[in-house]
Amino acid sequence: MDKPLVSVVIPTFNSEKTIGKCLESIKNQIYKNVEIIVVDKNSNDKTVEIAKRYGARVFVVDAKERSEQKNFGARKAKGKYIYFVDSDFVLDTQVISQAVEKCEKEKYDAICVHNTSDPNISFWSKVRKLERDCYKDDELNVAARFMKRKVFNAVSGFDESLVAAEDYDIHNRILKKGFKVGRIDSEEVHIGEPRTIWEIAK
């Protein structure tokens, strides 16, 4: 199988607590032909410093919403595939290899990667893991974040007017265009769950 370049685009804002673990999980992928693009929204912590330490291409932008950061990153991407990853995600080691293989061998255009939670962070993360895993096979609660660059361009990227749920919006537009969307077994683990009720209240 060919090893096409995969561009991982990560929007960040004051993400120093999680970005290191996120980038470490990307570096630990068994699939190595990867470029990392971090699009930072003027963080005032060590996010940019940490990202550069991991060899990411870092861009600092004035963006209103995360969807704008993602579109900017996609414009900078050089890969055949683009994978949009949040800064508080940790990836199983085979996520990218499975996604590329699914597209290259089975001719899928975009891939859904199940997003679960780390139950060891807090009581709330245990609850969120149960909730997320219940929706694992629900077609209404999945979003393709890994896709061919030509697919991203065909649907004109993310809707920058949205303040949330931009992943689900682009997923639905990909389906409406008739592109083939698949799933893989490997998972993303969300490590940014709140630890206390006070963090939830924020």
- In this predicted model, what pLDDT tens digit does every residue of 158-192 receive, in sequence order? 999 999 999 999 999 999 999 999 999 999 999 97
Low-confidence ranges of the chain (pLDDT < 70): 1, 117-141, 193-202
Q: Give residue 60's pLDDT.
A: 99
pTM: 0.90
Sorted by sequence, the CB contacts under 8 Å of residue 199 that are 6+ apart come out as none
Q: Give residue 158's pLDDT.
A: 99
Q: Give residue 2's pLDDT.
A: 77
Both structure tokens of 72: 């900017």
Sorted by sequence, the CB contacts under 8 Å of residue 30 that are 6+ apart come out as 93, 94, 97
Please give the CATH number for the structural domain made up of 6-201: 3.90.550.10
Separation between Cα atoms, residue 16 and residue 49, nearest integer Å: 9
Q: Give residue 192's pLDDT.
A: 77
